[in-house]
């Protein structure tokens, strides 16, 4: 998951990655091993590169406040996937569109074949990520031209899955 987090005048690209059951955060070129759990009282317990931290996190849409022993910090969070999901697809847009993975995971099943005609929002395949099954849907109507995804295949963020042409 790729996020853009800003505080005051500074913007940082943050990528949350799960790899072999371990979570990592990438800040620019730096990787930090991390894990977290939400406690019953709404507090969070985090382990960042072996250091245990306790924090209270309050999230409201795209604003986030983190309070810990180090102080209170306010951030703005921008999720490019959410921003893209809110944009309307142009009616009548033609051409080839590549569908790529938005998150790492494993292909569970492919529900279309090359040459199939699909309509916008029709299911194309099912991707398992972080123990959840995600239905990947057609971004537009058209004909499936190429399928690279196969059941059981492990994929990473940005990997090509299939293409649709209208």
From residue 94, alpha-carbon distances to 2, 140, 165 in Å are: 28, 9, 7
Domains 2-81 and 88-165 in one fold: no
- Residue extents of the structural domains in the chain: 2-81, 88-165
pLDDT band (50, 70, 90) for residue 25? confident
pLDDT band (50, 70, 90) for residue 152? very high
pLDDT band (50, 70, 90) for residue 166? confident
Return the number of other C-beta atoms located less than 10 Å from residue 140's C-beta: 20
Mean pLDDT of 20-48: 79
pLDDT score of 69 more than 80: yes
CATH number of 88-165: 2.40.50.100
pLDDT for position 90? 46
pLDDT score of 136 more than 70: yes
pLDDT for position 1? 67
Please name the fold of domain 2-81: Glycoprotein, Type 4 Pilin (3.30.700)
């Amino acid at each position: 998951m790729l996020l853009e987090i800003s505080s005051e005048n500074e913007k940082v690209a943050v990528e949350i990655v799960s790899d072999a059951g371990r979570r990592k955060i990438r800040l620019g070129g730096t990787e930090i091993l991390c894990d977290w759990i939400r406690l019953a009282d709404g507090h969070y317990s985090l382990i960042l590169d072996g250091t245990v931290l306790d924090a209270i996190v309050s999230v409201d849409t795209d604003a986030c406040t983190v309070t810990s022993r180090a102080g209170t910090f306010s951030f703005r969070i921008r999720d490019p996937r959410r921003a893209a999901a809110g944009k309307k697809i142009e009616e009548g847009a033609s051409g080839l569109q590549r569908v790529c993975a938005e998150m790492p995971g494993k292909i569970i099943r492919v529900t279309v074949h090359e040459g199939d005609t699909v309509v916008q929002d029709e299911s194309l395949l099912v991707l398992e990520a972080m123990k959840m099954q995600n239905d990947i849907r057609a971004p537009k109507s058209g004909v499936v031209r190429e399928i690279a995804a196969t059941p059981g295949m492990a994929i990473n963020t940005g990997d090509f899955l299939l293409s649709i042409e209208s």
